Chains A and B, each alone.
Chain A
Amino acid sequence: MVPGVGAVPEGGQHATPAADQGRTRRDVTRGLLSSAVAVALAPAAAACGRKAHAPDDGRRATAFEETYRGRRIRGTEVRAARRTAVGGAQWEVTIDGRPLHLMRRADGSWLSMVDHYRSYPTPLAAARAAVDELGPDEQLHDLAPGPMGEGPMHTEGGHGVHA
């Protein structure tokens, strides 16, 4: 069970814009890049009868939810769950209810354990890319140690080193 996901309203696609405070030029740039990705992915989303979804439109969102290629993607911004080197918001993302192990890159982009050799501008783009790599009925495996940061990872004295 992923903390926080239960707070997302059921059904429908939605995004909750956050107060537009404290945006940096980098955030704006990332938003523009995100828009480009959303546009690029729109045909695929449309192909499965769903409207391309909103949170990649450049606004800051605290949650997203959509069906992409038949998979339910949900993301929730979480605060202080763990700290990363690059800072910024943390996201917990599930695909069909299973946690996607999501990680940050130093340039602020995102990558997952399913698609580990490139990165994406937003958590949603990384989640869609993971869906693209899943076969029919293939589901994420809940990795042990827990993908949300409870388990020991490898670093000596390390902490919070993974999503």
Chain B
Amino acid sequence: MAYTRKNVNRLTAGERRRLVEALLEVKRRGEYDEFVRLHIEYNTPDGERGLRTAHMTPSFLPWHRKLLLDLEEALRRVDDSVTMPYWDWTRERTTTSVPWTDDLLGGNGRRSDRQVMSGPFAYRSGYWKLTENVTDRHYLTRDLGRAANPIQLPTGQDLESALVDPVYDTAPWDSTVTRGFRNKLEGWGPGRGSVSWRNHNRVHRWIGGVMLGGAAVNDPVFWLHHSFVDLQWTRWQQRHREHRYLPAVPPGTRDAQHGRVVARNERLPPWDVTPDELEDMSGVYQYV
């Protein structure tokens, strides 16, 4: 029986409390920091050598889908009523909207050092100390909207421009491709400056603080963001039923991307699972 993932703005007070408590318990058990570590480790960008599985690559979507599934499984071991809600950043667009409330993820960071001071994930609450980080800070930081140089969250139209593309991804399967649903959603645009950070990437920048770096998983909004990104993959599949994950087969030995991307039926490190096996989640969870 599949469970459901809901819009975070539709959670009841009790559902919010159970989500928060499950996150804190997974953190207390030491399991949460394994997810942070994994995301830091799998940072390979496309200008570096070697296989890249998490970013600037076709498997951006299945990789984060699997990471989210594993976290959700950890939460459900604590409380099997919990599932990961999604944050629709095309609609909840202000620094005081859901999920930035004290009964969910807490609010913005303070101006002086961007430290989050409210809600259950504030350092001073005593439950959320960052132990895996790219800097020496142990407290959660945010800079919602980038106070010094403001940007806006992506719009529904920005998202639509990705969803309308019928092709999942295209050669050279990296951050430079201008066609294909995957990179339009991941958000590596051409050119410089604000217009070149789109959809998924732009949301990381809008939140700022730890969400801007390799240790982004330290902010629990990472999961609500990726739940919504994951929902877009599902929506894209429903809209383009004859299209699937690409590449279907590995790039050939003479291709510069040989050995550097994961094809549909290849193993997706660090897991023993293929993108093909992660395409249809309808038996596991459904978005409502």
Residues of A within 8 A of B (CB): 33, 36-37, 83-86, 101, 103-109, 111-119, 121, 132-136, 138-141, 143, 153-156, 158-163
Cα–Cα distance between A133 and B205 once the two chains are bound (Å): 11
Q: Which of B45, B50, B196, B197 contacts A153 (CB 8 A)?
A: B50
Q: Which of A106, A121, A132 contacts B192 (CB 8 A)?
A: A121
Residues of B contacting A136 with CB < 8 Å?
A: 112-113
Residues 22-71 of B contacting A (Cβ, < 8 Å): 40-53, 55-56
Q: Are B136 and A155 in contact (CB under 8 A)?
A: no
B135 at the interface (CB under 8 A from A): yes
Pick the most buried of B53, B137, B172: most chain A CB atoms within 10 A of its CB: B137
Cα–Cα distance between A65 and B182 once the two chains are bound (Å): 38
Q: Are A140 and B47 in contact (CB under 8 A)?
A: no
Residues of A contacting B115 with CB < 8 Å?
A: 135
B134 at the interface (CB under 8 A from A): yes
Residues of A contacting B269 with CB < 8 Å?
A: 154-156
Q: Are B40 and A113 in contact (CB under 8 A)?
A: yes
Cα–Cα distance between A139 and B138 once the two chains are bound (Å): 11
How far is the CB of A160 from the nearest CB of chain B, in Å?
5
B118 at the interface (CB under 8 A from A): no
How far is the CB of A80 from the nearest CB of chain B, in Å?
14
Contact (A117, B205) CB under 8 Å given A106-B174, A138-B136, A140-B135: yes
Q: Are B205 and A135 in contact (CB under 8 A)?
A: no
Q: Are A158 and B172 in contact (CB under 8 A)?
A: no
B201 at the interface (CB under 8 A from A): yes
Q: Are B50 and A105 in contact (CB under 8 A)?
A: no
Q: Are B43 and A116 in contact (CB under 8 A)?
A: yes
Assuming A119-B45, A134-B135, what are 14 further A-B pairs, CB within 8 angstroms? A85-B48, A85-B256, A104-B45, A109-B47, A114-B134, A117-B212, A132-B148, A135-B115, A138-B137, A139-B135, A140-B135, A141-B136, A154-B269, A161-B51
Q: Which of B51, B53, B56, B141 contacts A105 (CB 8 A)?
A: B56
Residues of B within 8 A of A (CB): 40-53, 55-56, 112-115, 133-137, 141, 148, 172, 174-176, 187, 192, 196-197, 201, 204-205, 208, 212-216, 256, 260, 269-270
Q: Are B214 and A113 in contact (CB under 8 A)?
A: yes
Residues of A contacting B256 with CB < 8 Å?
A: 85
Contact (A85, B46) CB under 8 Å given A106-B175, A117-B197: yes
Q: List 29 A-B contacts (CB under 8 A).
A: A37-B192, A84-B47, A84-B49, A85-B260, A86-B47, A103-B44, A103-B48, A104-B47, A105-B46, A106-B56, A113-B134, A114-B214, A115-B213, A116-B43, A117-B201, A121-B192, A135-B114, A139-B135, A139-B136, A140-B136, A141-B134, A141-B135, A141-B136, A153-B50, A154-B41, A154-B51, A156-B51, A161-B48, A161-B49
Contact (A160, B45) CB under 8 Å given A115-B213, A116-B212: no
Residues of B contacting A154 with CB < 8 Å?
A: 41-42, 44, 51, 53, 269-270
Residues of A contacting B215 with CB < 8 Å?
A: 113
Q: Are A135 and B137 in contact (CB under 8 A)?
A: yes
Residues of B contacting A103 with CB < 8 Å?
A: 43-45, 47-48
Cα–Cα distance between A118 and B200 once the two chains are bound (Å): 11
Q: Are A135 and B44 in contact (CB under 8 A)?
A: no
How far is the CB of A83 from the nearest CB of chain B, in Å?
6
Q: Are B175 and A85 in contact (CB under 8 A)?
A: no
Residues of A contacting B176 with CB < 8 Å?
A: 106-107
Cα–Cα distance between A63 and B192 once the two chains are bound (Å): 24
Q: Are A162 and B43 in contact (CB under 8 A)?
A: yes
